[in-house]
Amino acid sequence: MATTLLILHSLVAVALIGAITHQTLATVAPSDAKQHFFFSRFRAVPAAGFANAIVVLYLTSVLLGAMVYLYFKVDIQPMLERGRHWHALGFFDLKEDFVAIGLGVLPAYWLCWHQSFADQHRQIRAALTLVLAFIVWWGFLVGHIINNMGGFGA
């Protein structure tokens, strides 16, 4: 059961990374970039179209992560403590904190992408998107490394 939940959590996280990365690159890419420039092609899909998907994927990932968390605390964390992997556990604690901050940022993020502010709040939208992208990437990388260290589901 835990392995199935972890696989679902990972698949949702990969989809979330794709959506938030595409939206972030579309948001920060210069609007006057030439069409052949790599980052200008991210603007072909409206960045606002990703907002609902990102919110749903973020909440789903948090929910699945919370369900897997008990297995981590019981099976993996004691093994990492015995192996004296304090840095990895510290990074995982930061992941938990960042994900909680992301939950707090999510309503403002959604509101910024759904209000028709035109260019009035473009910088706020970009900043919130960058913060959320950092949190998602941090969570994915730390979770992946911890999974590799702990041999989850073995």
Least confident interval from 31-35, 45-49, 131-135: 31-35
Element (H, E) at 86: helix 86-114
Per-residue pLDDT at 154: 47
Residue 94 corresponds to which amino acid? L
The DSSP symbol for 36 reads: T
How does pLDDT run across 86-138, given as a tens digit for each residue?
Answer: 998 899 999 999 999 999 999 999 988 887 655 667 888 889 999 999 999 99
Number of separate domains in the chain: 1
**What is the per-residue pLDDT for 30?**
67
pTM confidence score? 0.86
By three-state DSSP, how is residue 9 classified? helix
The domain in which residue 137 lies consists of: 2-150
